[in-house]
Amino acid sequence: MRDRSSFQTRRIFLNAVIAAGISLIAGLAGCGSSSKTPQQAAGGPQRYHLAGRVVSVETAKQQVVVDADDIPGFMMAMTMGYAVKNPNLLTSLSREDKIKADVVVNGNDVYLENIVVVKKADQAKPPAASDAPASSPQPAK
């Protein structure tokens, strides 16, 4: 009789351990983030709004380097190069232009679309102090 009660005790313990394990797995599965947008849930590209200043335009690399403000939900303010898939978008850009654009993130692929120049760079800037002549020319004798 003692063997039978020992067997039943082990069986109850084993059933309790299995039930606890299943409950733990189910509980952890429910802890995942559910705040995905429809694009994220479908695996589509994510879009963020960028505003910043053009540092350089590298047409050979199809890239523009931008000193960007904070991009909410994506990254803090920083200067970095962004790929541009449509090379025609680069033709209207110059150094120091203020721009707005969409940052498209599709997996590891990050690029700019819908680039709009908000303010063109001032092309008629006065020369820097280091560019000024050191002294006035000497009169001819």
Query: What CATH code is carried by the domain that includes residue 101?
Result: 2.40.50.320
Domain membership of residue 62 as a residue range: 45-119
Residue 36 has φ and ψ, to the nearest 5°, of: -85, 145
Lookup: tokens for 62: 């199809």
Residue 86 domain flag = yes
Number of domains, the chain: 1
The answer to whether residue 1 sits within a structural domain is: no
Neighbours of 62 (CB within 10 A): 16
pTM (two decimals): 0.57
Residue 70 falls inside a structural domain:
yes
Q: What percent of the chain has pLDDT over 70?
A: 71
Contact 130/102 with Cβ under 8 angstroms?
A: no
**What is the reported pLDDT for 110?**
93
Q: Does the structure show a pLDDT above 80 at 20?
A: no
Q: Residue 71 corresponds to which amino acid?
A: I
Q: Report the C-alpha gap between 121 and 89 in whole angstroms.
A: 17
- Per-residue confidence at 39, pLDDT binned at 50, 70, 90? very low
pLDDT tier at 29, thresholds 50, 70, 90? low
* Phi, psi values for residue 45, rounded to 5°: -70, 150
* Inside any domain, residue 124: no
